[in-house]
Amino acid sequence: MKKTIFITVVATLCFFFISRSQVKNATATDEKISALTVGGKVGSLEFHQVYNYKTPSMKLSDFKGKAIILDFWGVWCSTCIKYTPHMQKFQQEYKNNLMVILVDDAPVDTEQIIIDFLGKRKAEGKGITLPIVLRPPTTKALFPHTFYPHYVWVGPDGRIKAITGPEELKDENVQRLVAGLDLNLTIKEN
């Protein structure tokens, strides 16, 4: 009996200290990542769970000299889905100078949900051809947002030109982005 109690106490203490260590490490990692704002340089952000792309991973530095729009969305977000055809149109129209990337960093979406969603859209004749990144580990810290959709506009120089909601998705704004010009758009607050 004493041996069972001793083992239970030791196991509980081990679990407690391991849990505290993991929380401390996660917090330390999150503190090292600073949120990027308009004017900030994106750098060589890497994505490893990529769908609808020629490889299962990509780096933003692969698109050097191109404008990039990071479209934060989820398969459950009807507003996000409503604007996906606009994003595909922009990608098609400016394919040599623009890369649109759908970023699904919502914790509820899984690989199977994404695969099923893409299959269903394709069967309905509404296929999505844009690359989709699933749950990248640092995007919530780099580009904090609570509400979807959330758009991060990156110029050809690698600097963030705007962070917006869908109301700024206009052809003239994308033209300015692709041209490397400054954007005077309403900044989205999370």
Of 116, 187, 103, 87, which Cα lies nearest the Cα of 148?
A: 103
Tokens of 153: 């506009």
pLDDT per residue as tens digits for the range 51-104: 999 999 999 999 999 999 999 999 999 999 999 999 999 999 999 999 999 999
pLDDT of residue 12: 34
Q: Is the dihedral of CA 159, 55, 141, 115 positive or negative?
A: positive
Model confidence over 136-170: pLDDT tens digits?
999 999 999 999 999 999 999 999 999 999 999 99
142: left (phi over 0), alpha (psi -120 to 50) or beta: alpha
Looking at domain 35-179, its CATH superfamily turns out to be Glutaredoxin (3.40.30.10)
The reported pLDDT for the residue numbered 2 is 54
> What are the residue ranges spanned by the domains of the chain?
1-32, 35-179
pLDDT number for residue 98: 98
Average pLDDT over the chain, rounded to whole? 85
Does pLDDT of 21 surpass 80?
Answer: no
**Rounded CA gap, 132 and 111, in Å?**
11
pLDDT value for 52: 93
